[in-house]
A = this chain, B = another copy of it.
Amino acid sequence: MAKLIILLTGMPGSGKSIIAEVARTMGIEVLSMGDVVREEVSKRKLQPTPENILRIAIELRKVHGLDIIARRIAEKLAKIEADVVLIDGVRGLYEVKVFEKYGKCIILAIHSSPKTRYERLKKRNRPGDPKTWDEFVNRDLTELDLGIGNVIALADYVVVNEGSIEELKHSVTALFREVLRKYESTCRSRDKTNRE
């Protein structure tokens, strides 16, 4: 049976990491596109600030092709035994194409309004997080240049995250249950067909 690959996408501050956390709690293996970039940032002995991460993410794509990060994740994906994997931080349809070779892909987008995301990022205040509205808008535009809007537009599921973290966890848990149930019932019906 082909792997189920859940491709998670969303703008900065929309709440992707909470979804990844819910996935882990439910026993879903998580691979993070950001980790691949962070590995590269650390290899180059740079500080892992969001600015450096975004810069290296763009540079890697320029030098090795737009889908380089997806290809590096795909190497890990091929070695993993888990049936269901969530890939955190998909940014372009050219990445979706790479993952489609490794299993049945579904796109999950998380959305919050720019206003909400800005307020969250300001509160989070990690080094490198945007401090002004202009910085925030510029970072958004850099993400959009990578094609993230196209992935969001073609998502199979969109979760709107304007409420509390608890509400988000609750609705995402329900969503994952539904997705896993569908996947498992497909597996069972294929097993049955194979036995017959």
Contacts and interface: CB of A to CB of B under 8 A. Distances in A.
Interface in A145-196: 147-158, 160
Most B CB contacts (10 A, CB to CB) among A115, A143, A152, A157 go to A152
Contact of A155 (B113, B140, B150, B156): B113
A158 B111 contact: yes
Q: Bin the interface of chain A by size.
A: 20 to 34
A103 interface: no
Interface string A3-46: 00000000100000000000000000000000000000000000
Interface in A121-163: 140, 143-144, 147-158, 160
A153 B152 contact: yes
Interface of A: 11, 93, 111, 113-115, 140, 143-144, 147-158, 160
